[in-house]
Amino acid sequence: MKKNFFIILVALLLLIAFTVSSVVKYTSLLSEKNLYTVAGTQENYGFSVAKFIIQLNELYTLINSDNTIDDVRLKFDILYSRLNVIYVKSEATAPLYKQQGYEETIDSINKKLEDIDGLLSHNHPDYKKISTIIADIKPLTKTVTNLADMAEIAQRNDALKDFRSKRQQLWTLLFITGGLISLLLFVLFIYISKINRLLLSERAAFASKNAFLGMVGHELRTSLQAIVSIIDVVTNNLSGGIKSGQIERLETAVSKMERQLNDLAEFAKIDNGSVEIKNTYNSLQAIVTNAVQDCIAIYEKKDVTVKIKNNNDAVIFTDALRLNQVIENLTSNAIKYTERGEVNVDYFIEKGKVLNIVISDTGKGIPKDKLKFIFKPFTRVVDSKSTVPGFGMGLAIVAGIIRLLKGTIHISSEVNVGTTVTVRIPIKLGDSSLATAEVSASAPGDVFGVLSLLVIDDNEMACSSLSSLLTNAGYIVEATTSPERALEKLLRKPYGHCCKVSDEAAFCLIQRPYISKTLLTRRISPRGSP
């Protein structure tokens, strides 16, 4: 990975270097100085030579007419300035001096003008001699004109060659840059493909881990179910051989293990993305009250007072089970980590769209440097000497559920002062008539009389223990571990007024390749049994 990163870094640096080089080269090609060198001055050489010739002829005409010496000297000064434009060596006249014979010719003209200048310095100059010198200069001007034309042609050819050369350089740089970009994209593609393969491998590992956790949770819950059932049976038939307190402690321990295993299984489902949100209309007050009351019943602390600060009886459209899970987890945490004081549960609806739940306590608090790890699974921020049970799954589950509900959670805490957890979940309000009816807590026998039940489970121990528990409760129970046998029983006679098949039993039926859940439903439905 480090090697690939180094290659990408080098490629980026080379790409930047060649890009900068291309820009510099392009700028150099179009710079004012470069254009001036290649294309020459704004006025071409032929035009400058023509101006000199015009001034020379005007001087010749002036000398042969009746004009004052001052007029002649002024015209000569103008003529001399015209010569300097094409005589003085500079960057602008360099192309002229490259022409063979130009330097000798222009020097000869300059020398003759110096002779004229000497003659004009007298009060009575020899105009005849000056006319002769001008006549000698005229043939030389024709030579200069031809050389100037040749210089312009050569200059244009040089400019074209220079342009083609620099264009080739630019194309080369662009080709190299394009090659580097292609190489960089190829390396990035390889690098990203490798990362994707690693991610897929990690995802498969996570899926395997979650499947393992789910399987472990399922198997252990089955065993625990058998233990709990037997404890129930033994407790009901206790003849004094075992103290009831011991049975209660055993039951408490089993319940604690069951909660932990449920947490493992729940986290596995959330982490694996197999949790479905099932929104229904429910009473907000009932959800909050039930969750808090369950926590109070489980964690009996005389020195801790739990209060619900609100009494909002609104009907909301959300997943009541998951919301109950969130409130129960957060409230139980607040109670567990508060030695004495109070736990306050407040809830309100903001602008009819967002449910706010605020749970605060006066407990131990969480150090600020550990708050960022609070939602990671298997993470506990308490010290190793803490007697609070658990292995750090509660808040990871809460965070996962809130994410599924498209909500947010924020925790603020101060050590030895307390912790405040704020949850915000988008909801939809509904009418009270839409709320799901609550199930009565009355014993089934009180409502339906003596029921005849059929217990179906692929685990013989679980099936047997559940049958014993239900028989002890006064039901008429038949049990089977075979889906085919269960189907025969269901087709032969109805069982009670209601029937609830456990997730394990349903799972068992679905897993059988020769009997589907749909087929089972179709074959049972005509009998009137649910």
Decide: 432 and 421 in contact? Cβ < 8 Å: no
Burial 384-406 (b: 16+ CB within 10 A, else e): eeeeeebebbbbbbbbbbbeebe
Under DSSP, the state recorded for 340 is S
CB atoms within 10 A of CB 222: 17
Q: How far apart are CA 440 and CA 208, in angstroms?
A: 41
Query: Nearest CA to 432 among 315, 347, 326, 298?
Result: 315
Q: What is the pLDDT of residues 254-307, one digit of tens each?
A: 776 777 677 777 777 777 777 888 899 999 999 999 999 988 887 778 889 999
Q: What is the pLDDT along the chain (530 residues), one digit of tens a residue?
A: 556 666 666 667 776 776 776 666 666 655 555 555 555 544 577 788 888 888 888 888 888 887 778 888 888 889 888 888 888 888 888 888 888 998 999 999 999 889 888 888 888 888 888 889 988 898 998 898 898 888 888 888 887 888 788 778 778 877 887 787 888 888 888 888 888 888 887 877 677 667 666 666 666 676 677 677 767 777 776 655 555 565 666 666 677 677 767 777 777 777 777 788 889 999 999 999 999 998 888 777 888 999 998 877 889 999 998 999 899 999 988 998 898 899 999 999 998 899 999 999 998 888 888 888 788 776 666 655 555 656 567 888 899 999 999 999 999 999 889 999 999 999 998 877 776 644 333 444 444 455 678 888 776 767 777 777 777 777 778 888 777 777 777 776 666 543 444 444 433 333 333 344 454 555 555 444 44
In percent, the amount of the chain with pLDDT more than 90 equals: 14
Fold classification of 278-434 (topology level): Heat Shock Protein 90 (3.30.565)
* Coil/strand/helix, residue 478: strand
Query: In the block, which residue shows the tokens 């020195």?
Result: 303
Ramachandran category for residue 85: left, alpha or beta (phi over 0 → left; psi -120 to 50 → alpha): alpha
Task: Classify strands 315-318 and 428-430 as parallel, antiparallel or unpaired.
Answer: antiparallel
Q: Kindly report, residue by residue over 84-140, the tens digit of the pLDDT.
A: 888 888 888 888 888 899 899 999 999 988 988 888 888 888 888 888 998 889 899
Q: CA geometry: angle at 397 spanning 201 and 462, to 5°?
A: 90
Instruction: Return the half-sphere exposure (C-beta side, CA atoms, 13 A cut-off) of residue 331.
Output: 29
